[in-house]
């Protein structure tokens, strides 16, 4: 008999979770105005809202926290992390920040000005937010395959090279301060970018003399997919692949709450001394002194160890196999999801799941609420609520795809929990024809409305 694959860890500490009743959940979600962000975590049984800052640290990471150096300036924790970043990504300069969006804020304060355009592959919301906040534009050049959930293209995070070329030909160099490549591409479903595509983007960037920066939240998961799916990479280690990927980048922003496997933190790193000098000023203003930014010494220590662990094949195999374990069950049940299955989450195609619910009634949010009511599981809407209104016309923007994202925290839940998620979704899918209506908005904020929106039943 073949020995089955199992997790590369055993559990040393547990946290109880409460399995509520449907009556309780009906009351709680009503009180939360049908917004899952308003729920208390104690009202959630399995929390798949995000994989950001929600993972479990290892005993090595907790051990490293005890030896954190909390000196204001020049701490050993900073130098440990700086060395790790140099080793792994090849960048000379590194600034710690409190999370990913802070790295974007600092870097874009240096590079982005009004009227600029920043091409990339489906920029994450905060990246787009920081670009638009500066009255610049984020131009999405993702390959078209990403917008067809049934298409099995293995690198749906890729940039459409012709589209990027067109952007670089259209706008003058002074108006394109950088290209942002998000690896893996969260918004398109945790989908990877191939090494071949990275190289092609870099070639174009060089021809047009535009710097290339990687949004690196899930860089190790991207490397795993290159190792698994791209010809010529099977024999390379994850660390070798990461080094090769980053040999094409001029800099990186990173939320370490994902592939840093810590609960809070981030970095900005680069090789260009002139960027570093300018970024230092903004870092001190917004984050903290250059050797701690937004992070405590103990957190920098935990991140250094996290970067080591996240680039081990055994860890990545465990991680990605769990996401695929859930995804494959859903595919077996006929539930429509973004294919192929990505790295950190399952993206359920809500329009195809609930064909009778109009998009005007927030179909992906409707599915998120149903899943909470059915089994106490919290996912997140990646659809019309998140897409917000057009700033000029104030009309709702309806994205091509309406997703319910089920993001799986690292090393946190077991496959039994995944079985609960799959069964919950299947029960709803079996009675999907009975769900004909969704929700309307009662209250919304002028920007980033999905966090605080209040809804009522249609
Ligand atoms: N870039 C990507 C690709 C992200 O997924 C995120 C966060 C950020 C940047 C910003 O990082 O939260 O540390 O400020 N994504 C989380 C999520 C919030 O749930 O996908 P942050």
pLDDT value at position 448? 82
- Same fold flag, 22-51+313-457 and 59-310: no
CA separation for the pair 219, 241 (Å, rounded): 10
pLDDT of residue 389: 87
First to last CA, the chain: 54
Both structure tokens of 76: 């050993």
From CA 400, how far away is CA 142, in angstroms rounded? 13
Identify the bridge partners of residue 424 per DSSP, sorted by sequence position: none
Handedness of CA 185, 131, 111, 202 (dihedral sign): positive
Render each residue's pLDDT in the chain as its tens digit; 458 residues: 999 999 999 999 999 999 999 999 999 999 999 999 999 999 999 999 999 999 999 999 999 999 999 999 999 999 999 999 999 999 999 999 999 999 999 999 999 999 999 999 999 989 998 999 999 999 999 999 999 999 999 999 999 999 999 999 999 999 999 999 999 999 889 999 999 999 999 999 999 999 999 999 999 999 999 999 999 999 999 999 999 999 999 999 999 999 999 999 999 999 999 999 999 999 999 999 999 999 999 999 999 999 999 999 999 999 999 999 999 999 999 999 999 999 999 999 999 999 999 999 999 999 999 999 999 999 999 999 999 888 788 899 999 999 999 999 999 999 999 999 999 999 999 999 999 999 999 999 987 899 999 999 99
Q: In the annotation, is 124 catalytic?
A: yes
For the chain, the domains span 22-51+313-457, 59-310
Using CA atoms, how far residue 121 sits from 148, 181, 314, 442, in Å, is 15, 6, 29, 33
pTM above 0.95, yes or no: yes
| Dist. CA 70 → ligand 1 center (Å) | 26
User: Among 75, 74, 105, 83, which residue's Cα sits nearest to residue 283?
Assistant: 105
Q: What is the pLDDT of residue 241?
A: 98
- Ligand 1 centre to CA of 383 (Å) is 16
Between the CA of 400 and the centroid of ligand 1 the distance, in Å, is 21
CATH 3.40.640.10 fits 59-310, yes or no: yes
- Active-site residue identified among 47, 51, 69, 215: 215
Output 278-285 pairs: Cβ under 8 A, ≥24 positions apart.
278/110, 279/95, 279/106, 279/107, 279/109, 279/110, 280/95, 282/105, 282/106, 282/109, 282/110, 283/95, 283/97, 283/106
The catalytically annotated residue of 37, 72, 443, 451 is 72
Q: Is 215 designated active site?
A: yes
**443 strand-pairing partners:** 454
Distance 18 CA to ligand 1 centre (A): 27
The β-bridge relationship of strands 377-378 and 93-97 is unpaired
pLDDT of residue 383: 95
Residue 40 burial class via C-beta count within 10 angstroms: exposed 0-12, middle 13-18, buried 19 and up: exposed
Q: Which CATH class is domain 22-51+313-457?
A: alpha beta
| CA–CA separation, 77 and 71 (whole Å) | 9
- Positive or negative CA dihedral for 404, 409, 412, 418? positive
What gap in Å lies between CA 272 and CA 267, rounded to an integer? 15
The answer to whether 38 and 32 are in contact (CB under 8 A) is yes
Angstrom distances, CA of residue 413 to CA of 23, 313, 418, 419: 25, 20, 8, 11
Ligand 1 binding pocket, CB closer than 6 Å: 50, 52, 99-101, 124, 126-127, 182, 186, 215, 217, 255, 257, 266, 407
């Amino acid at each position: 008999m073949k020995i089955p694959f199992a997790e590369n860890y055993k559990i040393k500490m547990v946290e109880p979770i409460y399995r509520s009743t449907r009556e309780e959940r009906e009351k709680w979600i009503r009180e939360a105005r049908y917004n899952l962000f308003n729920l208390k975590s104690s009202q959630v049984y399995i929390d798949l809202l995000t994989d950001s800052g929600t993972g479990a640290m290892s005993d090595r990471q907790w051990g490293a926290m005890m030896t954190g150096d909390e000196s204001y300036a020049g701490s050993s924790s900073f130098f440990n992390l700086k060395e790790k970043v140099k080793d792994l990504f090849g960048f000379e300069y590194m600034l710690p920040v409190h999370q990913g969006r802070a790295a974007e804020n600092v870097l874009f304060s240096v590079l982005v000005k009004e009227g600029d355009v920043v091409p990339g592959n489906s920029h994450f919301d905060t990246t787009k937010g920081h670009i638009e906040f500066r009255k610049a534009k984020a131009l999405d050049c993702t390959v078209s395959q990403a917008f067809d959930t049934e298409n099995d293209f293995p690198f749906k995070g890729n940039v459409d090279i012709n589209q990027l070329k067109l952007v670089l030909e259209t706008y003058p160099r002074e108006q394109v301060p950088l290209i942002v490549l998000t690896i893996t591409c969260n918004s398109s479903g945790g989908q990877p970018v191939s090494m071949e595509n990275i190289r092609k983007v870099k070639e174009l960037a060089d021809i047009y003399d535009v710097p290339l920066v990687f949004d690196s939240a899930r860089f190790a998961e991207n490397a795993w997919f290159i190792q698994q799916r791209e010809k010529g990479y099977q024999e390379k280690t994850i660390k070798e692949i990461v080094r090769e990927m980053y040999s094409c980048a001029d800099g990186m922003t990173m939320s370490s709450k994902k592939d840093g496997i810590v609960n809070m933190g981030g970095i900005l790193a680069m090789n260009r001394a002139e960027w570093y000098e300018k970024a230092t000023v903004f870092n001190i203003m917004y984050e903290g002194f250059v050797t701690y930014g937004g992070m405590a010494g103990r957190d920098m220590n935990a991140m250094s160890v996290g970067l080591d662990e996240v680039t081990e094949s055994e860890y990545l195999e465990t991680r990605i196999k769990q996401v695929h374990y859930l995804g494959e069950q859903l595919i077996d049940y006929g539930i429509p999801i973004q294919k192929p299955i990505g790295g950190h989450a399952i993206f359920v195609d809500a329009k195809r799941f609930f064909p009778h619910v109009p998009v005007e009634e927030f179909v992906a949010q409707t599915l998120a609420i149903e899943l909470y009511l059915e089994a106490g599981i919290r996912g997140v809407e990646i659809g019309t609520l998140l897409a917000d209104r057009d700033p000029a016309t104030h009309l709702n923007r309806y994205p091509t795809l309406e997703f319910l994202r089920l993001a799986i925290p690292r090393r946190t839940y077991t496959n039994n929990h995944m079985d609960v998620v799959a069964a919950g979704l299947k029960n709803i899918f079996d009675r999907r024809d009975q769900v004909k209506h969704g929700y309307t908005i009662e209250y919304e904020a002028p920007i980033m409305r999905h966090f605080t929106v209040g809804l009522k039943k249609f």
